Amino acid sequence: MKRAVFLALAAFWIAASGCAYYNTLYHAEQYYEEAERSRRQATPDKRATIGLDLYEKAMRKCAKVILEYPDSRWVDDAILLMGKCFYAKGDYLAALRKFDEILNYYPNSNLIRRARFQKARTLVALERYADAVPVLETFREGGKGDLGEEALYLLAVVEHRLGRHENAAEGLEVYLDKTDGGERRDDVLSLLGRSYALSGKHRESYEAYARLLENPLLDEKVRLESSLAMADALAREGRYEDAYDALEEIRAEVRTRSDTLRIELHEARAMLAEGRLDETVDSLRAALVEAPSTESSGEIAYLLGRVYLDSLDDKDSAAAAFRLVGQYPVEEEKKSEAARISKNLSDFLRLKRAYEEEEPDTAEIEFLLAESEFFFFRRPESARERYRLVADRFPDSDYAPRALAARVYLSRHGFTEEAGEDSLLRRVVRVYPRSLTARELLDRGEVEPPPDSLELWLALWDEANPPEDTAAAETTAVAVVAEEGDDVPPAMRRAHRWEGEYFLEGPPAPLRLSRRVEPERPLPREDGESIGGSVEVEVDVNDEGRVIEARIVRSDDPALNGPALAAAYQCRYVPEPVDELRSANLVFHIR
């Protein structure tokens, strides 16, 4: 009798213990589900802050199961749920550790596939896409309802983010065939439209957005975004009238001026693609009349500037449009780009006006105009013509040899076609043998004249240019040929820029001043004699365009050195993303 009572009590205790940890896990799952429901009902911008207290309660219950009942059959469930709570709270590294704990220490668990899927999902959230792909690939053979479809969708998302848009589109189509999209159908079709658009399949992109827009309950914001994207796809297919019809249809539904501006921006892009330049300009100008301070207004001003500059070559109007961009809350990168272009245009126009008014140093002005044409406006043919004018009209200037070398650069890099490249370089050495450009050509072996010829050219130069007339040297160097790893002379390094992993040997002086400060004139000497002359300063410039080191190269009077160095440190250059210091020379004429 006593034995029977003891066994009954033992069985009751075991059952009670089992019920205790099962109930604990059950409550944890209830808290988690309640938090998830709250998030689904919240607006997207508030979801990250919803349910955090409920996730904490769920995690405490899970921890109790793990710590107090470590040998129970519910431990792996508790670990998995705790990982999902960490994920929901945004603590992805902690979540990853929990999912790996199941995979590493519970290899026979029936939760292995779920843990593997959650791990892949977490790796995606951590943007570790390369690690996520092989994990997701293991689900390809899974049956329906065995997380295979979810893994397929997640894999398509990863492919899209990796820029493999065709693969993403293919995966999304398979997912739609298997599931019809389910609750995330709108998201799937939207991503499908973007993937097709980015892979250049505009007809398929339009069709995906058209399917998405069939949903009468589609969110207003999603409907607007999808309609704009569909209109863009139609325009890229050359179906301009259909694009305009799509934009008109959505225009009738929007209620704010900001949304209307977005539609007008896409309409202008379609007109521009169709070649209706005058109508594009009129449309953009009209849209900016009393435009609200929105990002779309800034985008419209930027597009107007590009049309004026790229299509109409109206630099005055382009500069005004780009200045306008800064008044609107656009992305900082675009705002900076607009400000840079506006500054370059203003400098170009100022130089052009100075040249037309025949100010004294027209050779320098023409040379800087040529550089602006190539470096900032990407018009190599116009740059080539201006370089030619420098050499032909101002053959006695310091800029003539640099202009000749620049023409060779443009030709050798496929920007223009120049007959007789070697002849032009030989002309630099023959006519300007004392120039820095000639010396660098000789140092690099680009031109190898017979020694007696070189001596004759030097003698002729010295005879025609007495020392007092050759005091001023070229302000910057030109590198005609340079390969990565070559022993590049310091004088040539100052013209080098980086493009990718290779040296880019450019036209003269790719280091462009964005601000030049002139030295203050020193006080007269004690005997009343005024101090004046020229000073050449070599400067080291960082990637932000700031002068971090300056040194005197040549000076007519030591009294000028201090003011020249002070001015040099205040000068600024156009920033360039390079990994090492760049050098340039400044020549100050203090009179």
Q: Which residues, in sequence order, are bridge partners of residue 554?
A: 536
Sign, CA torsion 161/164/170/171: negative
DSSP assignment, residue 546? B
Structural domain boundaries, residue 308:
254-357
User: Same structural domain for residues 558 and 501?
Assistant: no
Q: Would 41 be classed as within a structural domain?
A: no
Tokens at residue 291, please? 């435009």
**CATH number of the domain enclosing 289:** 1.25.40.10
Q: Is the pLDDT of residue 495 over 60?
A: no
Q: What is the pLDDT of residue 490?
A: 35
Query: What pLDDT, in 10s, does the model give residues 404-414?
Result: 888 888 888 88
In DSSP notation, 166-196 reads: HHHHHHHHHHHHHHTTGGGHHHHHHHHHHHH
190 neighbors 226 (Cβ within 8 angstroms): yes
In DSSP notation, 41-83 reads: HS-GGGGGGTTHHHHHHHHHHHHHHHHH-TTSTTHHHHHHHHH
Backbone torsions φ then ψ of 557, nearest 5 degrees: -160, 125
Max intra-chain CA distance, the chain: 132
Strand order in the sheet with 582-590: 547-555, 533-541, 582-590
Q: Is the pLDDT of residue 526 over 90?
A: no
User: Same structural domain for residues 424 and 352?
Assistant: no
- The count of other CB atoms within 10 Å of the CB of residue 286 is 12
Q: Would 81 be classed as within a structural domain?
A: no
- The count of other CB atoms within 10 Å of the CB of residue 41 is 9
Q: What is the pLDDT of residue 502?
A: 30
Q: What is the pLDDT of residue 334?
A: 86
Most confident of the following: 41-50, 152-161, 373-382: 152-161
Q: Would 521 be classed as within a structural domain?
A: yes
Residue after which a domain boundary falls, among 315, 339, 357: 357
Q: Would 176 be classed as within a structural domain?
A: no
Query: Residues 6 or more apart from 528 whose CB is under 8 A from it?
Result: none
Q: Would 380 be classed as within a structural domain?
A: yes
In three-state secondary structure terms, 509 is coil
| Structure-token match 């008109």, residue found | 248
Q: What is the pLDDT of residue 301?
A: 92
- 563 confidence band (pLDDT: 50, 70, 90): confident
Domain count, the chain: 3
User: Same structural domain for residues 481 and 550?
Assistant: no
> Would you say how long the chain is, in residues?
591
- In angstroms, the CA 385 to CA 392 distance is 10
**CATH number of the domain enclosing 572:** 3.30.2420.10
Q: What is the pLDDT of residue 240?
A: 93
Tell me the average pLDDT of the chain: 80
- In angstroms, the CA 8 to CA 10 distance is 5
Question: Picking from 17-26, 85-94, 335-344, 559-568, which range would have the lowest pLDDT averaged per residue?
Answer: 17-26
Question: Picking from 200-209, 290-299, 452-461, 462-471, which range would have the lowest pLDDT averaged per residue?
Answer: 462-471
- Cα 250 from chain centroid (whole Å): 31
Instruction: Pick 548 or 577 by higher pLDDT.
Output: 548
Q: Is the pLDDT of residue 467 over 70?
A: no
Instruction: Pick 168 or 1 by higher pLDDT.
Output: 168
Query: What pLDDT, in 10s, does the model give residues 469-478?
Result: 433 334 333 3
Q: Is the pLDDT of residue 347 over 80?
A: no
Q: What is the pLDDT of residue 345?
A: 81
In DSSP notation, 16-47 reads: HHHHHHHHHHHHHHHHHHHHHHHHHHS-GGGG
Residue after which a domain boundary falls, among 488, 507, 526: 507
Most confident of the following: 164-178, 503-517, 571-585: 164-178
Q: Report the pLDDT averaged over residues 539-549.
A: 83
- 282 confidence band (pLDDT: 50, 70, 90): very high
User: Same structural domain for residues 500 and 466?
Assistant: yes
Q: What is the pLDDT of residue 56?
A: 92
Q: What is the pLDDT of residue 501?
A: 31
User: Same structural domain for residues 577 and 450?
Assistant: no
Residue after which a domain boundary falls, among 327, 357, 387: 357
Most confident of the following: 118-127, 406-415, 544-553, 567-576: 118-127
User: Same structural domain for residues 494 and 516?
Assistant: no
Q: Which amino acid is at 315?
A: K
Q: Which helix (H) or strand (E) holds 254?
A: none
- 494 confidence band (pLDDT: 50, 70, 90): very low
Q: Is the pLDDT of residue 203 over 70?
A: yes
- In angstroms, the CA 118 to CA 587 distance is 65
User: Same structural domain for residues 299 and 364?
Assistant: no
- In angstroms, the CA 143 to CA 426 distance is 74
**CATH number of the domain enclosing 400:** 1.25.40
Q: Is the pLDDT of residue 312 over 80?
A: yes
User: Same structural domain for residues 546 and 444?
Assistant: no
Q: What is the pLDDT of residue 506?
A: 37
Q: Report the pLDDT averaged over residues 168-188.
A: 87
Q: Is the pLDDT of residue 500 over 50?
A: no
Q: Is the pLDDT of residue 427 over 60?
A: yes
Q: Is the pLDDT of residue 315 over 70?
A: yes
Q: Would 244 be classed as within a structural domain?
A: no
Q: Report the pLDDT averaged over residues 266-270.
A: 93
Q: Would 35 be classed as within a structural domain?
A: no
